[in-house]
Amino acid sequence: MKFLDTYEDKVDNHSKEQKHSVLPLLSWDIHMMNYVDKNQLNKDVSGLKKLMDKLKVEVSVIDELVQNNAVIVVTDVNLTIEYATSNMLGMSGYLSEEVLGKSPKMFQGPATDKELSKKIRTSVNREESFEATLINYKKDKSVYSCHIKGYPVFNAKGELVKYVAVEHAA
């Protein structure tokens, strides 16, 4: 047993010599959550920069993402979702990967204003920007209010190639 006493003394002395403080496990959990969020934000910013540079988009969606924690969704001309930021999970309960290849209509349900949906569709058909707040549905079928700003993206020939939506829980 003398060996264990010696070992404990050496560990104690070693700990006292270290120049770092011991933090409780809870603080590491908080740090890790922040670390994961920051990494995901950096990944989203990087992905959006590449996409926006490729599309030559004038809309400052990256600022909206970073400063306002907006969800950014990019669709093709048929409104099929091609890109969604990872913070989609917090707003809708869906992972960004789960919404790819689907229509934004997946978020609509009985409480969604049909007339407002038609107005948005008319703006899209006219290749115009739009702004609206509507009731959407989360993955768990609960409702949330979503403020959406949609922007058409045109190529050098003036043809519609994408739609970018900046979304906030309202």
Is 53 a member of any domain?
yes
Measured N-to-C along each axis, helices 61-68 and 25-55 cross at an angle, to the nearest 10 degrees, of: 170
Number of structural domains, the chain? 1
pLDDT greater at residue 98 or residue 31: 98
Instruction: Report the alpha-carbon distance of residue 51 to residue 49 in Å, rounded.
Output: 5
> Which class for 82: exposed (0-12), middle (13-18), buried (19 or more C-beta within 10 A)?
middle
Q: What is the mean pLDDT of the chain?
A: 83
Q: pLDDT tens-digit profile of 101-121?
A: 999 999 999 999 999 999 999
Is 64 a member of any domain?
yes
Is 150 a member of any domain?
yes
Is 18 a member of any domain?
no
**What is the domain-level CATH number for residue 160?**
3.30.450.20
The pLDDT of 152-167, averaged and rounded, is 88
Write down the pLDDT at residue 97: 94
Write down the pLDDT at residue 169: 87
Is 153 a member of any domain?
yes
Write down the pLDDT at residue 39: 75
The 3-state DSSP class for residue 60 equals coil
Q: pLDDT tens-digit profile of 40-89?
A: 777 888 877 887 777 776 556 677 766 677 898 999 999 999 999 988 99
Is 138 a member of any domain?
yes
Range of the domain at 74: 25-169
Is 15 a member of any domain?
no
Residues 6+ apart with CB under 8 A from 74: 51, 81, 82, 83, 84, 162, 163, 164, 165
> CA-CA distances (angstroms) from residue 101 to 59, 91, 96, 162?
23, 19, 11, 14
Is 148 a member of any domain?
yes
